[in-house]
Chains A and B, each alone.
Chain A
Amino acid sequence: MPEIKIQIKNLYKIFGKNPKSALEKVKDGVNKDQLLEKHNHVLGLKDINLDIKEKSIQVVMGLSGSGKSTLIRHINRLIEPTDGSVVVDGEDVLKMNDENLRNFRRTKTAMVFQRFALLPHKTVLENTMFGLHIQNIDEKEANTRARRWIDRVGLSGYEEKYPQHLSGGMQQRVGLARALTNDGEILLMDEAFSALDPLIRKDMQDILLELQDELHKTVVFITHDLDEALKIGDRIAILKDGIMDQEGIPADILLSPKTQYVKDFVEDVNRARVIKAKHIMSKLNGQDRDNAMFVDQDDFIDRFIDKVISDKPNCLIVKNKNNDEIGYLSTKRLSEILKR
């Protein structure tokens, strides 16, 4: 079982003049609209609990105004919560003094922003070195490390350009290189790819997944795009109006949405591309192996659906990496899953 890297507990954020007193009212059950109308306070986040596992990609998804960007800013305390705690590696971020907080931000975390937030007066290379300059790391080392990541995100040859001279996709590569150069264990990505064209966004998602295979960072990824969430998330949390509606692995969210909101959200998703055999298999129960088909537990449905249609097996047997048979999937169940 992987360790919990980031633990968010009972987190509340209320914007307004007197958040403490508004907090009492929220805890007494006043909802977001009433709070705004009667008390002139905005409910940002309400009782958020989230355990983020080490070396995984946790997606937080929601529409604009759902509080997702507010939530990610609590992890490195760019925003002070009204109540609750954020514990990273056993240490409460909210109890750190200025100096400790700065060190935490310098060494543990790195952030990528929706609108890139590059320094317009610095070149690509200088931007990438920014985190290291802040840490007073010596110029030669900073230079080597920055160049390595510039190369890794595919920007070699652009080191001396200014951000304004680059396209959006390239600017965000700089943003990513800047975050990776910092070499924190936690990567915070606030709608990092939302401002990019669809094709470039796909490229960036692929780059991120490829890097993650190798780097195993703890990534918190904010998005409003369900396809993106399903593609890159190991787990997904869905926020609505500052409340967490559901949290779980992508398949669970697709197959058993807890609220109407989530249901509406996942309705149009192409399930065959998101659900793996292991997500929908049931226990082996002495099924007949006659005319059975074997599938890998990590195969998405769309990898074997064509074969199911052409071969017309009686059932599917799911195997794990060691070739053990671990589960069973009837064609009836398969068609039910796909029909909805």
Chain B
Amino acid sequence: MEKLFLSEFPELSRETLRFIKKGFDTSYRAFSREYGDTIEAVFDPVLYFLVWFEKLLQNSPWPLVLICFLAIIYFGSRKISVTIGSLFAFLLIGIFGMWEDTMSTVSIIGVCTLLSIGIGIPVGVLMAKSERAQRICTPILDVMQTMPSFVYLIPVVMLLGIGKIPGLLAVVIYAIPPIIRLTNLGIREVDSEVLEAADAFGANPRQKLFQIQLPLALPTIFAGINQTIMMALAMVVIASMIGVKGLGQPVLKAITNQYFAMGLFNGLAIVALAIIFDRVSQSFGHRIQQHRSGARE
């Protein structure tokens, strides 16, 4: 008896386990039936914006879109090499017939990044300001970053069905932690002597936040934004499983049908987008911290 107890972990009976799981699922299903529509309605504005943005990119003449992209890339990075590289990347994408999917991906990545920034920075600020918020948020962020993304796709799909919004949510959940963490870190890393000086001159908390903490944390926050974009791109394939259009869908098709070339092309297109986003956001991040450059004169 003793031996049996030690060699086999005492587990709940199959009956009990089934009961627990069933109870959980039933109540969640009830919840989603009850509130699913309301929650969906909340996201309507985001959906409208996303659809509008996607259509804008897809329906405008491609040379115009390309010129706009290159202009943004140039003014973001101020590097002619990055701009020319991007030009070739976009031309290749277009020639290989992936222009439309790429525009879908760009639009969803753009919206996800904006949402992540809009939610992530305030949450990060809150975490930096309050120890309690930090204690509550840190484990949640840990879960968001380590939970296999398929697992939280289940409740999202149960709640909202398949489509753009659940995909968007899945991407944001996966991609938002770095910006929250790095906003928090950036603000906490601000030199305490500088903050003391601000106190000594009578700055109130808002003045400290906007005139000192956020500007000084900006390089770190930018590293977070960069990470967020990269992670959003990495999620494109998984999001395509629940109906997000874009470069992920052909990849998914390639996996299920063993079309190696198709997978490779679309995969490379994602890589190209990632590199462009990364270079532009990094050099923009460097440029906003001019004060750090240059030696003493």
Contacts and interface: CB of A to CB of B under 8 A. Distances in A.
A133 B294 CA distance: 27
A63 interface: no
Given A111-B197, A117-B197, A135 B292 contact: no
Contact of A130 (B201, B290, B295): B201
B194 A117 contact: yes
A115 interface: yes
Nearest to B199: A78
B202 A119 contact: no
A165 interface: yes
Nearest to A108: B202
B202 A102 contact: yes
B59 interface: no
Interface string A89-123: 00000000000011111110111010101111110
Contacts, number: 79
Interface string A252-285: 0000000000000000000000000000000000
B291 A120 contact: yes
Nearest to B294: A165
A182 interface: yes
B169 interface: no
Contacts of A178: 201
Interface string A271-312: 000000000000000000000000000000000000000000
A109 B196 CA distance: 14
B216 to A, nearest CB: 6
Contacts of A166: 296-297
A164 interface: yes
Interface residues of A, number: 35
B288 to A, nearest CB: 9
A24 to B, nearest CB: 29
B296 A162 contact: no
Contact of B294 (A131, A164, A182, A188): A164
B193 interface: yes
B250 to A, nearest CB: 45
B66 to A, nearest CB: 35
Contacts of A188: 200
B163 interface: no
Contacts of B215: 121
Name B's interface SS: helix
A1 interface: no
A113 to B, nearest CB: 6
A178 B198 CA distance: 11
A113 B203 contact: no
A199 interface: no
Contacts of A101: 202
B197 A106 contact: no
A249 B258 CA distance: 91
B216 A78 contact: no
Interface in B175-204: 191, 193-194, 196-204
B207 interface: yes
B292 A120 contact: yes
Given A120-B216, A165-B297, A105 B199 contact: yes
A162 B194 contact: no
Nearest to B216: A121
Contact of B203 (A103, A134, A164): A134
Nearest to A111: B200
Interface in A114-173: 115, 117-122, 130-131, 133-135, 161-167
A85 interface: no
A162 B291 contact: yes
Contacts of B198: 130, 134
- Which 3 residue pairs across A and B have the least CB separation, nearest first? A106-B202, A105-B202, A117-B197
21 contacts: A78-B199, A78-B200, A101-B202, A102-B204, A103-B202, A106-B201, A110-B200, A113-B196, A117-B191, A117-B196, A119-B211, A119-B216, A120-B292, A121-B216, A130-B198, A131-B201, A131-B202, A134-B203, A134-B207, A135-B202, A188-B200
Interface of A: 76, 78, 101-107, 109-111, 113, 115, 117-122, 130-131, 133-135, 161-167, 178, 182, 188
Given A119-B194, A134-B198, A134-B203, 8 more contacts: A78-B199, A101-B202, A113-B196, A117-B196, A122-B291, A164-B291, A164-B292, A165-B295
